[in-house]
Amino acid sequence: DTEVTQTPKHLVMGMTNKKSLKCEQHMGHRAMYWYKQKAKKPPELMFVYSYEKLSINESVPSRFSPECPNSSLLNLHLHALQPEDSALYLCASSPLLGGKKPYEQYFGPGTRLTVT
């Protein structure tokens, strides 16, 4: 099973709302990632969690707050977003532990976020 799931598929929120995106994997992977993708552009890395600890924050504004409650779950808490934050948010995971492909990343289907 190489599946990463994300909920919700679509989200519309106002600039004063607070919402959360959820990502889950049951492959035993120990790294999880959040990416942001604007239309006709490649994914851009936002955060990396390795062994449930935040290891990379690509200078993301504090209105985006990641959380890794356990090795299978990754959340992205959103508050006071701006219309320019509208994008596809992708979650990914990779094994890290041994094997031939420790850094191979598997992506979820994404959440399409619209900020009004």
Partner 1 sequence: GIQVEQSPPDLILQEGANSTLRCNFSDSVNNLQWFHQNPWGQLINLFYIPSGTKQNGRLSATTVATERYSLLYISSSQTTDSGVYFCAVGFSGSRLTFGEGTQLTVNP
> Is there binding between residue 3 and partner 1 (CB under 8 A)?
no
Closer residue to partner 1 in complex, CB, 25/94: 94
Given the rule CB under 8 A, which of 19-27, 66-74, 76-84, 93-101 is the region that contacts partner 1? 93-101
Q: What is the largest CA-CA distance in the chain?
A: 45
Positive or negative, the Cα torsion across 65, 3, 109, 93? Answer: positive
Interacting residues toward partner 1 by CB under 8 A: 2, 31, 33, 37, 41-45, 48, 50, 55-56, 88, 90, 94, 96, 101, 103-107, 109-110, 112
